């Protein structure tokens, strides 16, 4: 049996799956946690990958590996391949003013003065604090000495792939950095329309040019491991992918399919045959990991809203779910606006969360639990509307991510989203998609393997609750800024 492995280096943890390259059968898995925080030295991802690989029984017997990872994180390297400073992650909002500056600058040069539209037409997305390009501008403005030392910029999955190949701090080898089109499309300096880097935008942000990872097509070998590390010499490395594109590959999503992922981020992403350019900024026009596109709306507040609600109520996730399901739809008017980490969609980096509509009758643990689940889902339903407004086909909704393990989320998602929801068996779909890419690379085929990781799925239906969304819409803009 030939084996392949997939890695998901996500915000909170690193997961490894080992699968049969020919059938996709799951052979073994491993996992390790990442430290908390929105600014992290990449060595922690490497340490967690080493632990997760050990937990998975090693990768000595594996023929090909690919890495999926959290998108957008700024990994700045100097000429020796040393990390210049801690990576700013996708959910770090300090570069929000830099995003505004970049939009204003393109606006000043655009015939109609519309900088947001100019960016959407250039790279498919309007910059927000999450995108790498804004983090580079922040670096240029706030840490100019560090910015001057930047010789290459990579993303989390690029850096891990490079390290798996045998490169590392002090080894140089910047020209060996690789990436794929899905993750490149989230940088803010790669165009899904021309499939090329926009070095002018990189230079505009950072203040000078820098080496960028080579964009490797999904089914091509990105590198061969040198050996002596986690992999046997000669192990094939796929180009990897951004986590959302990897999940789409793992699920075998096709045009019309939409994934609702409830992890640290809340993501509504759809496979589309055509790229999007949403000047409103609600939908980012990313590429997928097969050659199609992955328009996506992403919130900063999803599973951690449930974590926070459970903490406030002194219960575990099962307890929170039971409480939420014991309260009526709409929580008798109690609305939780979930901007606990600021927000990206809509773009409110300085916002805070809020509880609205409190009355003696609805201030119970059950009502609060219900409001937390509904508020988090309403923000995702807004994202789904934004995708539809871009003409993206929406036919089948998949519910995935750690938060999909909550029965309340599974039960209320179809009601709030107003459509049936397909819930695949809980699994590591990002790592699975990376494993599927590894099998694709190993087979040297122009089509991905016929197997997917979707397995058994349950379709959940519920009567739509548009009144819940209407009430949320009244409340969602009523928040105070961060102190
Ligand atoms: N049964 C559950 N109910 C609700 N949330 C859960 C449950 N199990 C795990 N989670 C949450 O899911 C999150 C981890 O999901 P994951 O998709 O791995 O996140 P990420 O990809 O951002 O690292 C954590 O916030 C965790 O608390
Ligand atoms: O920023 C985005 C997508 O644009 C996020 O989806 C990140 O890619 C992090 O994902 P998780 O770790 O929450 O799965």
Which ipTM score applies to this complex? 0.98
Q: 133: pLDDT confidence band, cut at 50, 70 and 90?
A: very high
Tell me the pLDDT band of 29, cut-offs 50, 70 and 90: very high
Lowest mean pLDDT among 302-306, 354-358, 424-428, 472-476: 424-428
pLDDT in tens, 443-468: 999 999 999 998 889 999 999 999 99
Predicted local distance difference test score (pLDDT) of residue 170: 82
Neighbours of 103 (CB within 10 A): 21
CATH 3.30.420.40 is right for the domain spanning 3-244: yes
Identify the pLDDT of residue 456: 86
Best residue for ligand 2 mutational test, from 35, 71, 129 (most atoms within 8 Å of Cβ): 71
The pLDDT value recorded for residue 364 is 98
Q: Which two tokens stand for residue 59?
A: 């990768």
Model confidence pLDDT, tens digit, residues 369-424: 999 999 999 999 999 999 999 999 999 999 999 999 999 999 999 999 999 999 99
Of the chain, the end-to-end C-alpha distance in Å amounts to 58
* Residue 72 is labelled as binding a ligand: yes
Coil, helix or strand for 118?
Answer: helix
pLDDT at res. 379? 98
pLDDT grade for 483, boundaries at 50, 70 and 90: very high
Q: What spacing in Å lies between the alpha carbon of 401 and ligand 1's midpoint?
A: 6
Gyration radius (Cα) of the chain, Å? 21
Domain residue spans of the chain: 3-244, 253-420+461-482
Q: Percent of the chain at pLDDT above 70? A: 100
User: What pLDDT is attached to residue 454?
Assistant: 86
Please give the mean pLDDT across all residues of the chain: 97
Average pLDDT score over residue span 127-153? 98
Q: Domain 253-420+461-482 has what CATH class?
A: alpha beta
Number of H helices, E strands in the chain: 15, 24
In sequence order, what are the residues at sequence separation of 6 or more whose Cβ sits closer than 8 angstroms to the Cβ of residue 12?
Answer: 33, 34, 263, 264, 402
- Strand locations in 243-288 (E): 257-262, 266-270, 284-287
User: CB of 30 closer than 6 A to ligand 1?
Assistant: no
Is 447 a known ligand-binding residue?
A: no
3-class secondary structure, 27: strand
What residue owns the CA closest to ligand 1's atom 5? 403
Residues 228 and 166 sit within 8 Å (Cβ to Cβ): yes
Residue 397 dihedral angles phi and psi, to the nearest 5°? -105, 125
Tens of pLDDT along 210-233?
Answer: 999 999 999 999 999 999 899 999
pLDDT digits (tens, 9 = 90+) for 326-365: 999 999 999 999 999 999 999 999 999 999 999 999 999 9
Place of tokens 């498919």: 124
171 pLDDT band (50/70/90 cuts)?
confident
pLDDT, mean of residues 105-123: 98
Closest by CA to 5, choosing from 214, 216, 177, 240, is 240
* Domains 3-244 and 253-420+461-482 in one fold: yes
Cα separation, 422 vs 251, in Å, equals 11
Output the pLDDT for position 313.
98
- Euclidean distance between CA atoms 262 and 397, whole angstroms: 13
What gap in Å lies between CA 65 and CA 231, rounded to an integer? 9
Considering the candidates 8, 243, 288, 382, report the single residue annotated as catalytic.
Answer: 243
Tell me the residue length of the chain. Answer: 483
Are 248 and 241 in contact by the 8 Å Cβ rule? The answer is no
Catalytic site residue 243?
Answer: yes
């Amino acid at each position: 049996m030939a084996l392949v492995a997939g890695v998901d280096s996500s915000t909170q943890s690193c997961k490894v799956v080992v699968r049969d390259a020919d059938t996709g059968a799951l052979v073994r898995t491993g996992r390790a946690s990442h430290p908390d925080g929105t600014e992290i030295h990449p060595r922690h991802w490497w340490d967690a990958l080493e632990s997760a690989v050990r937990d998975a029984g090693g990768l000595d017997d594996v023929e090909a590996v690919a890495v999926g990872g959290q998108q957008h994180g700024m990994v700045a390297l100097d000429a020796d391949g040393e990390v210049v400073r801690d990576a700013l992650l996708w959910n770090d909002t300090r570069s929000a003013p830099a995003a505004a500056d970049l939009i204003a600058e393109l606006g000043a040069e655009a015939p109609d003065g519309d900088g947001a539209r100019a960016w959407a037409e250039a790279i498919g997305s309007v910059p927000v604090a999450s995108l790498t390009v804004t983090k580079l501008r922040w670096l240029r403005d706030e840490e100019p000495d560090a910015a001057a030392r930047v010789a290459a910029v990579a993303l989390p999955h690029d850096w891990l792939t490079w390290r798996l190949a045998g490169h590392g701090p002090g080894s140089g080898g910047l020209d060996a950095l690789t990436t794929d089109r899905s993750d490149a499309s989230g940088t803010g300096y790669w165009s899904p329309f021309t499939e090329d880097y926009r070095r002018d935008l990189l230079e505009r942000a950072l203040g000078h040019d820098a080496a960028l990872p080579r964009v490797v097509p999904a089914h091509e070998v990105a590198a061969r491991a040198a050996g002596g590390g986690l992999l046997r010499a000669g192990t094939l490395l796929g180009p990897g992918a951004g986590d959302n594109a990897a999940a789409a590959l793992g699920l075998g999503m096709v045009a019309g399919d939409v994934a609702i992922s409830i992890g640290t981020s809340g993501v509504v992403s759809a496979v589309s045959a055509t790229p999007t350019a949403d000047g409103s900024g609600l939908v980012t026009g990313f590429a997928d990991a097969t050659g199609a596109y992955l328009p996506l709306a992403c919130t900063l507040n999803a599973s951690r809203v449930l974590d926070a609600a459970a903490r406030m109520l002194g219960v575990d996730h099962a307890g929170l779910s039971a409480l939420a399901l014991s309260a009526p739809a709409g929580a008798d008017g109690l609305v939780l606006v979930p901007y606990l980490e600021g927000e990206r969609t809509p773009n409110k980096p300085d916002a805070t969360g809020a509880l609205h509509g409190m009355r003696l009758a609805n201030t119970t643990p059950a009502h609060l639990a219900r409001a937390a689940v509904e508020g988090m889902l309403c923000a995702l339903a807004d994202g789904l509307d934004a995708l539809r407004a871009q003409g993206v086909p929406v036919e089948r909704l998949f519910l995935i991510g750690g938060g999909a393990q909550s029965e309340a989320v599974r039960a209320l998602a179809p009601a709030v989203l107003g459509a049936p929801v397909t819930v695949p068996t809980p699994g590591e779909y990002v790592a699975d998609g990376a494993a599927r890419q590894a099998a694709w690379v190993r087979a040297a085929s122009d089509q991905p393997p016929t197997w997917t990781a979707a397995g058994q799925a349950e379709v959940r239906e519920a009567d739509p609750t548009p009144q819940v969304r209407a009430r949320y819409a009244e409340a969602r803009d009523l928040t105070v800024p961060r102190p």
